[in-house]
Amino acid sequence: MRSFQILFLVLFFVIFILGASGSLMNLKTIASNQFFRILRPVFHILHTGVLLMFLFLYIYPNQPRDASNYPLYFYFNILLLTVFIYNIPSAVSYLLHLITFRKNKPPLIPLCGLILSAGLATGLIYGTLWGSRQIKTANIELNYPNLPADFDGFRIIQISDTHFGGLIQPKKRIVKTKKIVDEIRPDILLFTGDLVNNFARELEGLQQNLSLLTSDYESFAILGNHDYGDYTNWDSAEKKQANFDAILEAFR
């Protein structure tokens, strides 16, 4: 397992450095010398900062399994993925430019690579920062031939995998969810697990909002795999049990 982790890290750094180098050379092909002299140190600072943050959050002194500052990891992962998604197409386009290079030929391929990279990076940022905040509902109609007539038109809302510790502004999410629930007016409200990522403290300050969400409806809940706290390291079995008991209490 250890050797696999080392191999993964080596591949990560090799791909990161090659992608960054190719992307920088692609910019040099397109930009004027004066603009490139300004852009190059900014490019180096950004990529050095990303690598240092990766080491800090994923290698030493922190480990993802022990993390509780989920928003920090969320924003950093967005930055890391954005850098990768920007660099790879740009680096590939520079490589294609070298293969097909002709003197006095316009840098069409590098320019197309730059546009593609910028478009993909913009789409990722929008999707993760704004698109992921949209609450979507799926209306599924179930038909059973032997279902008693009393259940005709019976409405059930299922809410699952909220992972409140990883949400940005979770209270606003709950308020928005409450509005959607009130519009549907279900007969039963079901929570089907993964209320948190690992820790009961992720629910601090949310109990009142969660109570308001379920106050007008018959509600039931089950635990998810993350609610057991198995995805982090505990100092003792007692602390793990206390965390589980606190999460269990939040379900009531």
pLDDT greater than 70 at residue 50:
yes
Give tens-digit pLDDT for 55-70: 998 888 777 777 778 8
Q: CA 222, CA 120: separation in Å to the nearest integer?
A: 38
pLDDT in tens, 201-238: 888 888 888 888 888 889 998 999 999 989 888 889 99
**CA atoms of 123 and 128, how far apart (whole Å):** 9
- Could you tell me if 124 and 140 are in contact, meaning their C-beta atoms sit under 8 angstroms apart? no
Q: Which residue has the tokens 């990279």?
A: 117
* Terminal CA-CA length for the chain: 40
Q: Are residues 35 and 98 in the same domain?
A: yes
Alpha carbon distance 74, 19 (integer Å): 22
Domain final residue, candidates 133, 164, 187:
133
Lowest mean pLDDT across 93-102, 123-132, 173-182? 123-132
Same domain, 109 and 163: no
Please count the CA atoms within 13 angstroms of the CA of 184 that sit on its side-chain side: 22
The pLDDT of residue 240 is above 90: yes
Which of 231, 156, 151, 225 is CA-nearest to residue 189? 156
Q: Are residues 129 and 159 in the same domain?
A: no
Number of compact structural domains in the chain: 2
Asked if residue 118 and residue 27 are part of one domain, the reply reads yes
Model confidence pLDDT, tens digit, residues 71-118: 888 899 999 999 999 999 999 999 999 888 766 577 888 999 999 999
pLDDT of residue 108: 87
In a domain, 142, yes or no: no
Residue 147 lies in a domain: no
How far apart CA 133 and CA 168 sit, in angstroms, is 8
Of 101, 133, 165, the residue that ends a domain is 133
| Residue 143 lies inside a defined structural domain of this protein | no
Question: Is the preceding peptide bond at 64 cis, omega within 30 degrees of 0?
Answer: no
In the numeric block, the tokens 């478009």 are attached to 119
Asked if residue 174 lies in contact with residue 221, where contact means CB atoms within 8 angstroms, the answer is: no
Three-state helix/strand/coil letters over the chain: CHHHHHHHHHHHHHHHHHHHHHHHHHHHHHCCHHHHHHHHHHHHHHHHHHHHHHHHHHHCCCCHHHCCCHHHHHHHHHHHHHHHHHHHHHHHHHHHHHHCCCCCCCCHHHHHHHHHHHHHHHHHHHHHHCHHHCCCCCCCCCCCCCCCHHHCCCCEEEECCCCHHHCCCHHHHHHHHHHHHHHHCCCEEEEECCCCCCCHHHHCCCHHHHHHHHCCCEEEEECCHHHHCCCCCCCCHHHHHHHHHHHHHHCC
pLDDT digits (tens, 9 = 90+) for 1-48: 567 778 888 999 999 999 999 999 999 999 888 999 999 999 999 999
Give pLDDT, residue 2.
Answer: 66
**Domain co-membership, 124 together with 169:** no
Q: CATH number of the domain that 235 lies in?
A: 3.60.21.40
CA distance 252 to 249: 5
Residues 122 and 164 grouped into a single domain: no
pLDDT at 133 over 80: no
Q: Do 128 and 185 have their domain in common? A: no
What mean pLDDT is predicted for residues 138-151? 88
Closest by Cα among 172, 220, 231, 169 to 196: 231
Q: Is residue 144 part of a domain?
A: no
Q: What is the pTM of this model?
A: 0.75
R_g of the chain computed on alpha carbons: 25
Q: Which pLDDT does position 103 carry in this prediction?
A: 64
* Residue-number span of the structural domain to which 52 is assigned: 2-133
